Structure 1
Amino acid sequence: MKKFSSIRYTFIQSHFYALFLNIIIVLSTLLMIYVIYEPNWLTVKAIFLFVTSFILVSLCVSIYAGIRYSSAIKERLDGISILIKQLAHGNYDSRIELLTNNELGRIGGELNELGQKLQSQVKSLQRMADEKSEYAKSAHKAAVIEERQRLARDLHDAVSQQLFALTMMAQATQRLFDQHPAAAKEHLAEMTTMALQAQTEMRALLMHLRPVQLSGEPLSVGVQHLVDELQQKCSIRFRVHIDYEKGLPEGTEDHLFRIIQEALSNVLRHAEAEEVSIVLQKKAHEVFLHIGDNGKGFTVDHQKKASYGLKTMKERTEELGGNFAIHSKQGKGTHLDIRIPT
């Protein structure tokens, strides 16, 4: 049914409607002649043959005319639709060729102007990101103090409490060891789990002690160093594909690096994943970043509201004029896709 609602079939239907009106007019005219003059040549058979021939010829003409005159409009509408999709996906340098001066031509021209304005806005956003990066460097000392305070809170709220609970359980296990060996064994298993959780939390917090900026390194080198460091400290398998050379402003690369840091930190702290894939590619008009894991996953709508890390990554992406998308299901892992126009 969707096919019959297209612009081409709408044109054909309009021609059929015109055909129907013409048939009514022809029949009315023949009837009037027959009533007034009653000519010998105007018989029922003659009327039937004439009307049938008229309908057959007009049907063919209507179908041809509908297809012929709708093709140009359909082509223009398809071009406009493709341009809108390109703009929606961040390809702001896409343009449509203007061939006519009618309404469709004006719409195409306005969409070209919209794409040009969006492209200018993206450049302005990236320029602001560069300026913001410079301001961040000048305020580095204040950021270090704030980061230390945040880490102190996280250590107190997470690792410190886990270590305290671990100490209490160790003391209780020591008292139970001789009298209740089975209970002591269960406590030891719980202690092992808690120690692993504390270790994972500490590794995630240590990631945030890395420099806020790349310190002059290209983004691809900084990402590879970060992955190599994590590979040595945890049992997660990393699959990394980097097809990118330095070609973005420094502020944009800093934002992307911080997004990757935050994403890997979330994987360490929450995902319980065994494998993580990282893809960083420089395409024709965009930089594509994908981070996926095979962990326990979560409900996206609920977690977006509660997670500070996801909110921060989304804000950093939008500051660069990019698109942020996250897909996750319980037991199906989490996949993060980011596209930054260049």
Structure 2
Amino acid sequence: MRKVTSVRFWFIKNFIMMTCMGSLIYFVFLQFYLYMNGDQILNTKNILMLTLLMLMVFLILSVQFGYRSGRNVLKRLDELLSFVSILRSGKYSARAVEIEKDEIGLIFEEMNQLAIVIQDQVRSLQRLADEKTDLANQAHQAAVMEERQRLARDLHDSVSQQLFALGMISSAALRTVSKNPIQTEELLKQVADISAKAQGEMRALLLHLRPIDLKGDTLIDGLNKLVKELKERTQLDIECRLENIEYLSKAIEEHVFRIVQEALSNILRHSQATKVRITLERIKENLHLYISDNGKGFKVERSLMTSYGLQTMRERCEELGGVFQIRSMEEEGTYINIRIPFSNE
């Protein structure tokens, strides 16, 4: 059955049809010629004319049947190419329908099976990412305890000692304020200096304690807080359009948040941008994240090899089975487009 429905048989059938039709046309014309000329004997000139006529008939039929055959094959190859492009864009749920039972149809069937395998692998990657996130949370809890102990030591070694010194110098200033104003002034200068140093130490500790993940917030809440903090501390004009997407796994939320955080960090450190645009939305079965800036741009090929931040963003995206795309031109800004497939299951 497969041989009968193959592309090879389809071409053979078309050539047989062309031969039969050409022979029929030639036979009809020959009968018409004999009817018009009676029993006149065919001479060399007439035979040559009939041969040329037969050649023209078969040439016209060959062009017609060849064009029709090529058009049908080209149409199906275009459909195959479009299907491959859809899968390459990350839409692994797409399937080819109305498949004919020939060689091209077999390719479509294999592509359907490949799409199923890739879709299963994406789900497995996301499950592994969830497990990785859980393990990371457990490790984080252990690190929190260790960090608390380290911060306690730092507070004792720096801020606590400075506060103790402030108390001692303040007491000495109170005793000398009426007896020796000049000495009191020197003591107050020391108080101001130590106070400034203590304030710097506390700011450093608070900056170190700044959350680097969602800390129980949803993705939208975490991004809004991050953007609000940047607006308060920097001069960046940040435009956000964040769609509240349901059924996102914990791993997707954590990874997307860290990707945005890393992208904004790169913009602050390198781009010299004044405007940033962030868009998060769901399009069919994909989460789309778009980040752009009007900074100085860079050469993507070189930076992808040397930038730790870009590599981290791409790795996080690929861990979720997503597609990471980045475009940048010097003096024209940078554009990051990320598509991550997910389902409501």
Question: How high is the sequence identity, in percent, across the aligned residues?
Answer: 42
Report the equivalent of 1:215.
215
Report the equivalent of 1:312.
312
Q: Can you give the 5+ residue segments of structure 1 that lack an aligned partner in the other structure?
A: 1-6, 27-38, 149-202
CA separation of 1:82 and 1:258: change in aligned 2, threshold 3 A:
same
Counterpart Cα distance in 2 of 1:295 and 1:259: 18
CA separation of 1:293 and 1:101: change in aligned 2, threshold 3 A:
same
Q: CA deviation at 1:40?
A: 7.3
Report the equivalent of 1:4.
none
Report the equivalent of 2:287.
287
Counterpart Cα distance in 2 of 1:207 and 1:310: 24
Report the equivalent of 1:258.
258
Report the equivalent of 2:52.
52
Q: CA deviation at 1:120?
A: 0.1
Q: CA deviation at 1:208?
A: 8.0
Q: Does the CA-based 8 Å contact 1:213-1:254 persist in structure 2? A: yes
Letter in 1 for 2:67: I
Deviations 1:280-315 (A, max 9, x none): 111102111111111111122222222111111111
Deviations 1:80-101 (A, max 9, x none): 1111111111111111125322
Q: Is residue 66 of structure 1 aligned with residue 48 of structure 2?
A: no
Q: Does the CA-based 8 Å contact 1:79-1:96 persist in structure 2? A: no
Counterpart Cα distance in 2 of 1:80 and 1:324: 24
| 1:91 partner SS | coil
Report the equivalent of 2:116.
116
CA separation of 1:206 and 1:340: change in aligned 2, threshold 3 A:
farther
Counterpart Cα distance in 2 of 1:142 and 1:234: 33
Q: CA deviation at 1:210?
A: 4.2
Report the equivalent of 2:303.
303
**TM-score, with length taken from structure 2:** 0.67
Larger radius of gyration between Structure 1 and Structure 2: 2
Counterpart Cα distance in 2 of 1:207 and 1:315: 27
**Which consecutive aligned stretches of 4+ in structure 1 deviate over 4 angstroms post-superposition?**
142-148, 205-210
* Aligned positions of 1:7-18 closer than 5 A: none
Counterpart Cα distance in 2 of 1:312 and 1:143: 21
CA separation of 1:61 and 1:208: change in aligned 2, threshold 3 A:
farther
| 2:57 partner SS | helix
Q: Can you give the 5+ residue segments of structure 2 that lack an aligned partner in the other structure?
A: 1-6, 27-38, 149-202
Q: Does the CA-based 8 Å contact 1:218-1:246 persist in structure 2? A: no
**TM-score, with length taken from structure 1:** 0.67
Q: Does the CA-based 8 Å contact 2:245-2:282 persist in structure 1? A: yes
Letter in 2 for 1:243: E
Report the equivalent of 2:170.
none
Q: Supply the RMSD in Å over aligned alpha carbons.
A: 3.2
